[in-house]
Amino acid sequence: MDYNKIVQLILDVGEEMLRSGAENFRLEDSLYRMCRSYGFIRSDVYAIPSNLQITVETPEGEIITQIRHIESTDIDFDRLDYLNNLSRYVCANKPNEKEFRKKYQEVMDREDPHPAIKYFAGIMGGTGFAVFFGCNFTDAIVAVIVSLMIVVVGEWLGKRESNLLVYNMILSFMSEMIILSAIRLGIGSHPDRVMIGIVMLLISGLGVTNGIRDVLQRDFISGALHIMNSMLGAAGIAFGIALAIMILDGAASEGFILNHNIPIQLISCTVACIGFAMWFKIRGRQVIYSGIGAFFTWGIYIVVYALRPSNFLATLVAAVFVAFYAFIMSRVNKAPSTIFLTASVFPLIPGPNLYYMMYGCVSKDIDLAFGEMIVLLATCLAIAFGFIIVDVLSRSIMYMLKTDYHIGKSSQRPMEKESN
């Protein structure tokens, strides 16, 4: 067996998993499992958002090291799901190089969703959250227009600009210009609420949260990179919005107000999260599962907040629920938990706090900017702590079931039972 080719293929799978949106520690786990299935005496895997490397010692004693630089990512959870299935197949069957490559190419050659789906996804995501954040009917019309613009221009711009700061700056500038121009024409009355919904299409959904989560798990380099990448994207949004406000002398902000009708909150956030699920190229029943997860996540937040008005506590409890929901759904569907987690957790993502923090900076309202920054960080911490609590509990459950949940460098012996 050509172990160099096998390591190359394992690295191919790992690269595409990372590009498709896999979490670092889950990615490392899958690569360790595949390496171990081929009987390597020792394997070392190192993954960060921009780099992936594997070093193995073959049964014959040969040392093989291969490295990949990851230039860009394009979240594709459907591909991630099939790559995860491929890693399971490799662990169970130990295919030779030819069969491995054939299976890998079958995954890579899967047909993309119809282009129209992304338009619907963008409208559902941006407009759904605009309604969630208190927009009226005319505001929603503006949100539809801006959401379509982001899909069309974003598709074109993404092929020409890889810098997240520039990409977000251009799209947020164009979005805010359209929103403020519509307000001047008498279309819509809440520019800040419309923009908050649109911001949800641009922000790195779990960037800061996953960054904090990585740091708490002592993966400091990945954590720092996630946080810095999110800050870069947020800075681009801030510059774009600030420039548009200065040019058109934007209207004053009314502050963060959710839709007063709780059923509308639940319905709109569910529709928005189904849109985001399709935006992330989730397919089939998993799209519905994402919407169900979002509905109950926000419902639990509402109940906890009503019992004890604490944003941190309500977010923590809701984050525990959505993480456990994603864990259960991943076991039932034999798919990565991040597929169900990412879209379902969106109602908890502090997009409004990010917007008003930026607005405070632009309007020189230091108290507003500082206050929103504190809430933003507290919310991200609550989500991260919720995820970690479930991670600890799920490891304990899998240990009691005598099933490996997460392996690493310390586990070098052949496995009796495989589970991703």
Q: For 95-144, how does the pLDDT look when each residue is reduced to its tens digit (9 = 90+)?
A: 999 999 999 999 999 888 888 898 999 999 999 999 998 888 999 999 99
Closest C-alpha to 273, from 326, 313, 220 = 326
Say if residues 163 and 101 touch (Cβ distance below 8 Å). no
Average pLDDT over residues 43-69: 90
User: What does the angle CA 133 – CA 139 – CA 145 come to, to the nearest 5 degrees?
Assistant: 110
What does the DSSP 8-state code read for residue 335?
S
pLDDT value for 417: 39
Give the model confidence (pLDDT) of 386-416 as tens digits. Answer: 988 998 888 788 778 766 655 555 555 444 3
pLDDT at 419 over 50: no
Q: What is the pLDDT of residues 219-229, one digit of tens each?
A: 788 878 878 88
Look at residue 292 in the predicted model and tell me its pLDDT.
Answer: 96
Residue 88 CA to residue 25 CA, distance in Å, equals 16
pLDDT, tens digit, 9 for 90 and up, residues 149-174:
999 998 898 888 878 889 999 999 99
* C-alpha span between 369 and 361 (Å, rounded): 6
Contacts of 196 (CB under 8 A, 6+ apart): 129, 130, 133, 256, 351, 352, 355
- With bands split at pLDDT 50, 70 and 90, how would you rate the model's confidence at 13? very high
137: burial class by Cβ within 10 Å (0-12, 13-18, 19+)?
A: exposed
For residue 382, give the nearest of 325, 330, 310 by alpha carbon.
Answer: 310
Task: Give this prediction's pTM.
Answer: 0.86
What does the DSSP assignment read for 251-296? PPP------S-HHHHHHHHHHHHHHHHHHTT--THHHHHHHHHHHH
